[in-house]
A and B are shown apart, each in its own frame.
Chain A
Amino acid sequence: MPKTKLPAVVSTFCLCFVFWLLLTWSFTAQEMIAGAVVSLAVALFTSHFFIHEDAFWLLRPAKLAALISYAFVFLAELVKANVDVAGRCFAGCKDVNPGIVKVPVDLKGDYAEDMLANSITLTPGTITLDIAEQDGKTWYYIHWIDVAETDREKAGELIKGRLEKEIRRIWE
């Protein structure tokens, strides 16, 4: 088990405390002290699960800008896919052609892979079933509601779109 490190504890504490403030939305001294105590306890016990790499990457302007631009790209993809799947549902659900494709992914680090897998799952029409490592490469198994392309590279381009590039900018 990795050791608990001070920067990780500090950043986890900040995140927990911000969430506490947003959820209670009262700035009296009592509430804030209680929140600080609870956040500190949570941060001490869970920071080594939560932070593995640089604890303060979000404070670097380039990374923050990449995260914000990713949010907009992701929202655009989300709306596009939502309209597509909702159209299929209203058209009687007969126009589906499901299948599971294996797609190569070129990302480094657990966080980046996790983020891309979750983004793909969150987009209607594609669900990540599993992540496997073979021959030094990372592969996603993705259930796709409308298999337009069975070739792995091209299917990957269609599914991942611009998301992979944006996520690579955030984490590398």
Chain B
Amino acid sequence: MRIVIDILIAVGFIFALAGAKGVIQMPDAFCRMQASTCITTLGILGVALGGALYAFFVLGSVGTGVKVLLLGLLILTINPIGAHSIAKGAYKSGVRPEKEMEIDDYGRDFHD
């Protein structure tokens, strides 16, 4: 059981590391947001699942495990709302990538 827990937490760390690297190195604001979704999905899920299993089987505390699982579920449901409004707000306030985008339907339809 301990091995499964360690693997889950390690997977979470790897995806969080990838997301952090992307947030620093990606070329523009929108791509940086895309990289940060890595942290909030598989990064959080891996660590939360591993933590919950740790609480169930090693600590023997069911309440803590359920709380950690709920935390993961709540982050999954609430996160996209924030991501969507940050991205839309950035676009509306005039943030554009330095390099021309491959296709920009949004800018074509709402050029105000």
Residues of chain A within 8 A (CB-CB) of B107 are 100
A82 with B42: CB separation less than 8 A: yes
Contact with B along A35-52 (1 / 0, CB 8 A): 000000000000000000
Say whether A101 faces chain B, with CB atoms less than 8 Å apart.
Answer: yes
Contact with B along A62-106 (1 / 0, CB 8 A): 000000000000000011001001101110110011111110000
C-alpha gap A116/B101 in the complex (Å): 24
Residues from 66 to 112 in B contacting A, C-beta threshold 8 Å: 66-67, 70, 76-77, 79-81, 83-84, 87-88, 91, 97, 101-107, 109
Q: Which of B66, B81, B104 contacts A22 (CB 8 A)?
A: B66
B10 to A: closest C-beta gap in Å: 13
A86 with B15: CB separation less than 8 A: yes
Residues of chain A within 8 A (CB-CB) of B18 are 85-86, 89-90
Say whether A121 faces chain B, with CB atoms less than 8 Å apart.
Answer: yes
Q: In the complex, which range does the number of interface residues on chain B fall in? A: 35 or more
B106 with A89: CB separation less than 8 A: no
Residues of chain A within 8 A (CB-CB) of B76 are 122
A129 with B37, Cβ < 8 A, contacts A100-B104, A100-B106, A102-B106 known: no
Q: Which of B62, B83, B104 contacts A121 (CB 8 A)?
A: B83
A98 with B38, Cβ < 8 A, contacts A89-B22, A117-B84, A122-B76 known: no
Say whether A125 faces chain B, with CB atoms less than 8 Å apart.
Answer: yes
A93 with B25: CB separation less than 8 A: yes
Residues of chain B within 8 A (CB-CB) of A93 are 21-22, 25-27, 31, 35
Q: Which of A25, A85, A90, A100 contacts B67 (CB 8 A)?
A: A25
Q: Nearest A residue to B32 by beta-carbon distance?
A: A93
Q: Could you pull out 8 A-B pairs where Cβ atoms are within 8 angstroms?
A: A85-B37, A89-B18, A96-B31, A118-B81, A124-B38, A127-B33, A141-B105, A150-B103
Residues of A within 8 A of B (CB): 19, 22-23, 25-26, 78-79, 82, 85-86, 88-90, 92-93, 96-102, 117-119, 121-130, 132, 141, 143, 145, 147, 150
